[in-house]
């Protein structure tokens, strides 16, 4: 499964209720030019498989962030 990086901010906006469009800027010094995840390779080398989808991971991260930042505005 391919999950494009540009879809992640959209999913974050949906989960958080913040529908503002993200600002795309140039990479900072030290940022990777690209990131590649090989699901088959991690399963082969480490025997690990994901038990949750990308949306579930984003929802879980948002819930955790909100626990530690309860006064932060939503949306």
Kindly report the pTM of this predicted structure.
0.59
* Ramachandran angles phi, psi of 53, nearest 5°: -85, 175
Residue 39: name the closest of 50, 28, 30 by CA. 50
pLDDT tens by residue, 1-52 = 444 555 666 777 888 888 787 787 888 999 888 877 777 888 899 998 888 8
Length of the chain counted residue by residue: 75
């Amino acid at each position: 499964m391919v999950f494009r990086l540009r879809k992640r901010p959209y999913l974050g906006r949906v989960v958080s209720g913040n529908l503002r469009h993200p600002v795309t800027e140039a990479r900072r010094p030290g940022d990777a030019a690209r990131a590649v995840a090989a699901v088959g390779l991690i399963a082969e080398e480490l025997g690990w498989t994901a038990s949750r989808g990308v949306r579930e991971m984003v929802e879980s991260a948002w819930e955790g962030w909100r626990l530690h930042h309860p006064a932060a505005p939503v949306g």
